[in-house]
Structure formats: C-alpha cells, structure tokens
C-alpha cells in the first residue's frame, strides 16, 4: 500500500462514487478502479460493497478509512513543514562558471536563483583554470568547469557525467587562406600566429601541451581573457585562435570563419568540481540537480 492508493481510497469513500472521485482526482475511472483492486489485493480484503444508491465501506474499509485519514493528514502536514523549512533556510553559495556555461545554462541558473531568494547566491565568471584554483583554495564552493582538473585536492561531482561536452573550432579571418577549409588539424597551424585565451582558461593551457605532443611550439603573439577581443583581433589580422564552437551562435563578427578542429582537444568534457572529502551543502546539491535537470530538459 502506498500513499497514492490511500488518497484514492479516501476520495472514493468521501464521494461514495468512483466516477465523482475520478473527476476530483483528475484520473480516469478505469485507472481508479484498477488502483482500488490492487489495494484490495495487497490487503487481501474487500473495501467497498455495492448498494442501490452507490457504494458503502465494508467493516475493513471503515477501519482503513478512519486510520488512513490521519496518515494522509500526517503526510500532508510533514510535506508542508518541509516546504516551510526549505523556505526559511538561509545560507550562501558561491559558484564559478565560464562565459560559455553562463550562456548555455543561464535560464536554469536564473530560475534557480529566483526560487531561492532567501539564499545569498553569488556567481563568479572566470576561466575554468582560474575557477579550479578558486575552488581549490576555498574562495568558491563549487565550479562548473572544463576538464582536465589541475589541482590534486579537487574531484568531479558524479553529476558531471550528465553534462554534454563542447566542440572547439579554429577561428580565422575571411582573408586567411585557411578560411576555405572545412576542418583543420593542429598540424595545419604550425606556421600560424596564435591569439589565444589567457592561462586562466583551459584552452589557453592545453594548446601548448597538445602542440608540444605533436612536435611544435605554437607562436602565440596575443593573449586575452575576453573571447570577443580575440575575435576582434582575428578579424583584422592573419592570426588564428581556438574557441568553443557554441560561441559562434552569439558572436557578432562576420569577418571571421569558424572551422572544425579535428584533434583530441577538439572536444572538451565539462562538469562540476569540488574539494575532496568535503560534503556539499544542501544548497550546493540542489544547484547541481537543477542544472542537471535543465540539461535533460534541453536534450
């Protein structure tokens, strides 16, 4: 017996009619009848008998009705108290996230903040490498970041597996000879000059490591923390950069070409990181779950 069966049973007993109870519960009468049959089977007893003017409770039905009403009331009171407790809770939450994740999940984040107005929620927008550092030192409670993880005292939250990765593109000006290509490998960029995100960002770090693996040192001539500044630079020079492909949807620059990067760093995994051996607060857990639900709704 579960609480739903008990609610249905009490509604029928009060209405003395399956059809009236079904309308009040917004379920079909066959579904309601099946639920009561299942309940009677579970309890191995009849709960109703038919009379000329409708239905009446059996003796066992009366017993269940009297005790069931108090159980349902207790459940409803407990639910109300939990909701009131949640509303009266106070606390703070400091979350780090990048520009890309702000764009991707802002609707869900805004809804979460609105529904938790009694909490102090602070969003810090930085590069993933910098966010990892701030979580590591305790400046932030939680970080939504690109991988890999650079700090030994951090770990990935399990819900990170729910996050879709993002693709990386090479961006060049329309005047660059490479702009005619549909895809590029890093080897194709050996002789190019790079304008890249700073070392606070994952892409600003992994480019060096990956190019060295391939066998060349990238010629980096310009660094900046602002992707729009990078695009402005690319639009007026023959430099190249690598950026999350999703940013092309919001970029206002028409003088640049976004080209698929065919390399193992052409797709980056993301997720939440926290400090090892520290239990997340209730608010942190709720935030993670809200983002995860937002992702599932988008899929």
Render pLDDT for 15-59 as a digit per residue (tens, 0 to 9).
999 999 999 899 999 999 999 999 999 999 999 998 877 899 999
pTM assigned to the model: 0.69
- CA separation (Å) from 19 to 16, 33, 46, 51, 98? 9, 10, 19, 15, 55
Is the CATH code 3.40.190.290 the one for domain 168-268?
yes
CB-based contact 196:223 (threshold 8 Å)? yes
The span from the first CA to the last CA of the chain, in angstroms, equals 35
Q: In which residue ranges of the chain is CATH 1.10.10.10 found?
A: 3-88
Q: Residue 219: is its pLDDT beyond 70?
A: yes
The boundaries of every CATH 3.40.190.10 domain in the chain are 92-163+270-298
Antiparallel, parallel or unpaired: β 154-156 and 142-146: unpaired
| Backbone dihedral region for residue 25 (phi beyond 0: left; psi -120 to 50: alpha; all else: beta) | alpha
In what helix (H) or strand (E) does residue 66 lie, and over which residues does it extend?
helix 59-88
Residue 224 has pLDDT above 90, yes or no: yes
Averaged pLDDT, 131-143: 95
Place 89 in a pLDDT band, splitting at 50, 70 and 90.
low
Cross-strand pairs, 223: 196
| Best-predicted range by mean pLDDT (27-41, 85-99, 157-171, 275-289) | 27-41
In which residue ranges of the chain is CATH 3.40.190.290 found? Answer: 168-268
For residue 295, what pLDDT is reported? Answer: 75
Question: What was the pLDDT predicted at 212?
Answer: 95
Q: What is the mean pLDDT of residues 205-230?
A: 96
* Consecutive H or E run containing 50: strand 48-51
CATH architecture of 92-163+270-298: 3-Layer(aba) Sandwich (3.40)
Please check the confidence at residue 179 and state whether its pLDDT lies above 80. Answer: yes
**Pairing verdict, β 166-173 and 241-244:** antiparallel
Is 95's pLDDT higher than 60?
yes
Report the pLDDT value the prediction gives residue 86, as an integer from 0 to 100: 58
Domain 3-88 coded CATH 1.10.287.3510: no
3-state helix, strand, coil in the chain (%, to 5): 50, 25, 25
Inter-residue contact 162 to 292 (CB < 8 Å): yes
């Amino acid at each position: 017996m579960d609480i739903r069966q008990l609610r249905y049973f009490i509604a029928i007993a009060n209405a003395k009619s399956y059809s009236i109870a079904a309308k009040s519960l917004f379920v079909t009468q066959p579904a309601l009848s099946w639920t009561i049959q299942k309940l009677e089977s579970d309890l191995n007893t009849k709960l109703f008998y038919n009379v000329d003017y409708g239905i009446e409770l059996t003796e066992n039905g009366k017993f269940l009705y009297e005790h069931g009403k108090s159980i349902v009331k207790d459940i409803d009171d407990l639910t109300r108290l939990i909701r009131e407790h949640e509303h009266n809770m106070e606390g703070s939450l400091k979350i780090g996230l990048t520009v890309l994740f702000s764009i991707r999940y802002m609707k869900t984040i805004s809804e979460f903040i609105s529904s938790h107005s009694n909490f102090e929620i602070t969003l810090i927008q930085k590069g993933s490498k910098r966010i990892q550092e701030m979580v590591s030192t305790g400046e932030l409670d939680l970080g939504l970041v690109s991988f890999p993880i650079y700090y030994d005292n951090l770990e990935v939250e399990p819900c990170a597996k729910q996050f879709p990765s993002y693709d990386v593109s090479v961006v060049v000006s329309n005047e660059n000879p490479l702009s005619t290509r549909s895809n590029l490998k890093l080897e194709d960029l050996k002789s190019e000059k790079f304008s890249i995100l700073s070392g606070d960002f994952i892409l600003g770090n992994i480019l060096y490591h990956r190019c060295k693996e391939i066998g060349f040192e990238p010629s980096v001539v310009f660094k900046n923390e602002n992707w729009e500044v990078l695009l402005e630079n690319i639009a007026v020079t023959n430099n190249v950069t690598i950026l999350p492909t999703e940013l092309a949807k919001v970029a206002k620059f028409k003088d640049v070409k976004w080209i698929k990067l065919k390399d193992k760093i052409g797709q980056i995994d993301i997720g939440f990181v926290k400090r090892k051996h520290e239990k997340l607060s209730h608010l942190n857990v709720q935030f993670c779950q809200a983002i995860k639900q937002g992702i599932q709704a988008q899929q």
